[in-house]
Amino acid sequence: MLTNRPFLDYSDTSTLSTSAECKPHHQNWLLNQKKTPFNNNLSLAAKAKLGHQKKLFLGYPVNMNTPVEEFFAWRRQLQEADIGSLAFNNAGNPFKRSAVPFDTHNFERDVISRFGELLGFSLSDIWGFLSNSGTDSNMHGMYMGRTLLKGRTGTIPKTYFTKEAHYSIQILRDLLGLDTVVVETLPDGSMDPMDLKLKLADNSNYPALVVATIGTTFKGAIDQVDGIQEVLKDHPSYLHLDAALFGGYLPYTDHASEVLHRIDSNPTLERYDSIAVSCHKFFGFPSPAGLFITTEDLFNEFSELFSKIHNPEYIHQVPGTISCSRDAVKPAEFYFFSTPSAMARQAEDAQSILQLTTHLLDQMQTHFANIRPTRANDHSNTIYFRKPNSWIVEKYSLATMQLMENNKRQDFAHVVVMPHVNQKVLTEFLTDLEKYSDTS
Ligand SMILES: Cc1ncc(COP(=O)(O)O)c(C=O)c1O
């Protein structure tokens, strides 16, 4: 039976203060909030000023270019379709029909197909999704590798990567409870396939989950996919590529084969099992996101095992992703970056960053050889060198790390030439190096 008891009106403070018996737990806190509706310390003006400094941002692999106006027009179109204003949700497998219609799976599928094709995947055998970040995509790759290898052999694999791999791989191997085998590197910082061979022999009773980095974070080294595959061919293994930065631009260059799933000279060979690429790094998508791409065959095998780990009845399908609720706005927005005109801009950016990196290396080697400027290979957009004056580190937000040099730990810094970097800022950087040549 309905009663006539009035419902509490939280906007009416007099009701709140007189209804002592029904007092919500946080009533005082709520009342206080009314008195301070806005925190002035969180002013946006300071954030707006940051935009002007973006050209000086040389130390981390994020493209700080503001997307073209058409992107913002696309955003507005999405909003008119309620994407970004209603709680759309991409829970589930983007390649299957969803029980909840408020998703953008169609955009997500297209994004995966377009970038997958660029990365040499066959459109008749592809699966993937848009994740929260490169790290999130690496997590999925490592989890998929762990699940498949354990399913095939009954043994949890050991994971293999080098000390140059991104620190997130160390976190993920801990999260997934995987024993690690650290593989030595060659002088350029890439994985040494011969050491991998020795380490596999030492651990012959365990399957191998290998994480190869295409563009290591600090040095920009490239682990050689074919050399690694050659060593892995007689061992139960899964090869995941962490191509967070280089996976964005290499497909547009003459060095695309470093990240291609299949190459023309051997079209039947699948060179790796899965790949992770960050969307906010080279592409300049203005919020963190990642591509995760694998084959449909591998995904189906994974999905079979995954369905035994959990009961997905509630959403009428095996979701295929670790996260249940997933962002629906990002795939629809990132779709813009997969259009022909956006890809044409990415191709231009790829040429430009490699040309500017060559120029910077040339200048640094000519004028500042003493700080040992090094580029791991000529497809890299990263140059590392002895750490300069702290003022320069601060001005250009340079990442710094200690590296071994002549058996001693030395402070180093690096510059990553991203699409927002231009000749003018590099000249300014070189001038500052000249002016402040001490390395304190
Ligand atoms: C090689 C590599 N992998 C993974 C990551 C992490 O990517 P994200 O920041 O998208 O999580 C980075 C970030 O710099 C990276 O350089």
For ligand 1, is residue 277 a contact (CB within 6 Å)? no
For ligand 1, is residue 103 a contact (CB within 6 Å)? no
**Residue 1 alpha carbon to ligand 1 centre in Å:** 59
Q: Looking at ligand 1, which atom is closest to the CA of residue 278?
A: 10
β-bridge mates for residue 243, sequence order: none
DSSP β-ladder status, 399-405 and 408-416: antiparallel
**Residue 135 alpha carbon to ligand 1 centre in Å:** 6
Structural domain harbouring 137: 70-338
Judgement on whether residues 390 and 330 belong to the same structural domain of the protein = no
CATH number at residue 122: 3.40.640.10
Backbone angles phi, psi at 106, to 5 degrees: -65, -40
For ligand 1, is residue 63 a contact (CB within 6 Å)? no
User: In a 10 Å sphere around its CB, with 0-12 CB exposed, 13-18 middle and 19+ buried, how is residue 18 labelled?
Assistant: exposed
**Residue 150: partners with Cβ closer than 8 Å, 6 or more residues away:** 156, 157, 207, 305
pLDDT > 60? residue 421: yes
Judgement on whether residues 326 and 354 belong to the same structural domain of the protein = no
Q: DSSP assignment, residue 68?
A: P
**Among residues 338, 364, 393, which one ends one of the domains?**
338
Backbone angles phi, psi at 191, to 5 degrees: -60, 135
Band (pLDDT 50/70/90 cuts) for residue 40 is low
Q: How confident is the model at residue 105, as a pLDDT?
A: 97
Buried b (16+ CB within 10 A) or exposed e, 78-98: beeeebeeeebbbbbbbbeeb
Q: How confident is the model at residue 440, as a pLDDT?
A: 45
The string of pLDDT tens digits covering residues 19-36 is 555 666 777 777 777 666
Q: Looking at ligand 1, which atom is closest to the CA of residue 135?
A: 11
CA-derived radius of gyration, the chain: 25
Q: How confident is the model at residue 39, as a pLDDT?
A: 67
Judgement on whether residues 403 and 254 belong to the same structural domain of the protein = no
Judgement on whether residues 116 and 258 belong to the same structural domain of the protein = yes
Mean predicted lDDT score pLDDT of the chain: 92
Q: DSSP for 313-349, please give it.
A: GGGTS---SS-SS--SHHHHHHGGGGSHHHHHHHHHH
Instruction: State mean pLDDT over 39-48.
Output: 78
By alpha-carbon position, which residue is closest to atom 14 of ligand 1?
217
What percentage of the chain has pLDDT greater than the value 90?
81
Indicate the residue type of 81.
Answer: A
pLDDT > 60? residue 37: yes
β-bridge mates for residue 409, sequence order: 404
Helix-then-strand count for the chain, H and E:
15, 10
Q: Do the domain assignments include residue 295?
A: yes
Q: Do the domain assignments include residue 9?
A: no
User: In a 10 Å sphere around its CB, with 0-12 CB exposed, 13-18 middle and 19+ buried, how is residue 428 labelled?
Assistant: middle
Q: Do the domain assignments include residue 19?
A: no
**Among residues 280, 303, 338, which one ends one of the domains?**
338
For ligand 1, is residue 131 a contact (CB within 6 Å)? no
**Residue 272 alpha carbon to ligand 1 centre in Å:** 19
For ligand 1, is residue 61 a contact (CB within 6 Å)? yes
Band (pLDDT 50/70/90 cuts) for residue 53 is confident
For ligand 1, is residue 128 a contact (CB within 6 Å)? no
Mutate to test the pocket of ligand 1, among 278, 283, 285 (most ligand atoms within 8 A of CB): 278
The H or E element containing residue 413 is: strand 408-416
The string of pLDDT tens digits covering residues 209-240 is 999 999 999 999 999 999 999 999 989 999 99
The string of pLDDT tens digits covering residues 172-203 is 999 999 999 999 999 999 999 999 999 999 99
**Among residues 272, 303, 338, which one ends one of the domains?**
338
Instruction: State mean pLDDT over 337-362.
Output: 98
Number of structural domains (the chain) is 2
Q: Looking at ligand 1, which atom is closest to the CA of residue 216?
A: 1
Q: Report in angstroms the alpha-carbon separations of 234 from 185, 195, 207.
A: 22, 16, 11
The string of pLDDT tens digits covering residues 238-255 is 999 999 999 999 999 999
Judgement on whether residues 348 and 322 belong to the same structural domain of the protein = no
The string of pLDDT tens digits covering residues 125-169 is 999 999 999 999 999 999 999 999 999 999 999 999 999 999 999
Mutate to test the pocket of ligand 1, among 281, 287, 414 (most ligand atoms within 8 A of CB): 281
**Residue 133 alpha carbon to ligand 1 centre in Å:** 8
Judgement on whether residues 294 and 375 belong to the same structural domain of the protein = no
Indicate the residue type of 63.
Answer: N
The string of pLDDT tens digits covering residues 87-128 is 999 999 999 988 889 999 999 999 999 999 999 999 999 999
Judgement on whether residues 109 and 154 belong to the same structural domain of the protein = yes
For ligand 1, is residue 380 a contact (CB within 6 Å)? no
**Residue 134 alpha carbon to ligand 1 centre in Å:** 5
Q: How confident is the model at residue 50, as a pLDDT?
A: 86
Q: Do the domain assignments include residue 58?
A: yes
Judgement on whether residues 254 and 382 belong to the same structural domain of the protein = no
By alpha-carbon position, which residue is closest to atom 9 of ligand 1?
134
CATH number at residue 382: 3.90.1150.10
Band (pLDDT 50/70/90 cuts) for residue 315 is confident
For ligand 1, is residue 168 a contact (CB within 6 Å)? yes
Coil, strand or helix at 232: helix
Coil, strand or helix at 212: strand
For ligand 1, is residue 248 a contact (CB within 6 Å)? no
For ligand 1, is residue 382 a contact (CB within 6 Å)? no
For ligand 1, is residue 290 a contact (CB within 6 Å)? yes
Which tokens hold the place of 199? 């380490």
Judgement on whether residues 358 and 313 belong to the same structural domain of the protein = no
Q: Do the domain assignments include residue 349?
A: yes
Judgement on whether residues 106 and 155 belong to the same structural domain of the protein = yes
Coil, strand or helix at 414: strand
Asked if 362 contacts 176 with a C-beta cutoff of 8 angstroms, the reply is: no
pLDDT > 60? residue 1: no
Q: Do the domain assignments include residue 29?
A: no
Give the dihedral sign, CA 107/110/114/120: positive
The H or E element containing residue 181 is: strand 180-183
427-432-437 Cα angle (round to 5): 130
Q: Do the domain assignments include residue 417?
A: yes
Mutate to test the pocket of ligand 1, among 132, 136, 217, 414 (most ligand atoms within 8 A of CB): 217
By alpha-carbon position, which residue is closest to atom 8 of ligand 1?
134
pLDDT > 80? residue 435: yes
Q: DSSP for 37-50, please give it.
A: -S-GGG-SHHHHHH
Q: How confident is the model at residue 219, as a pLDDT?
A: 98
Buried b (16+ CB within 10 A) or exposed e, 352-361: bbbebbeebb
Judgement on whether residues 275 and 352 belong to the same structural domain of the protein = no
Instruction: State mean pLDDT over 1-24.
Output: 48
Q: Which of 20-24, 224-228, 345-349, 372-376 has the lowest mean pLDDT?
A: 20-24
For ligand 1, is residue 251 a contact (CB within 6 Å)? no
Q: Of the candidates 133, 64, 163, which has an alpha carbon nearest to the alpha carbon of residue 401?
A: 163
Band (pLDDT 50/70/90 cuts) for residue 378 is very high
**Residue 248 alpha carbon to ligand 1 centre in Å:** 12
Q: Looking at ligand 1, which atom is closest to the CA of residue 60?
A: 14
Instruction: State mean pLDDT over 425-435.
Output: 97
Alpha carbon dihedral 294, 295, 297, 302, in 10-degree steps, equals 10
Sheet holding 274-278, edge to edge: 127-131, 290-294, 274-278, 237-242, 208-213, 158-162, 180-183
Q: Furthest-apart CA pair in the chain: how many Å?
A: 88
Judgement on whether residues 214 and 289 belong to the same structural domain of the protein = yes
Q: Do the domain assignments include residue 424?
A: yes
Q: Of the candidates 194, 246, 199, 239, which has an alpha carbon nearest to the alpha carbon of residue 221?
A: 246
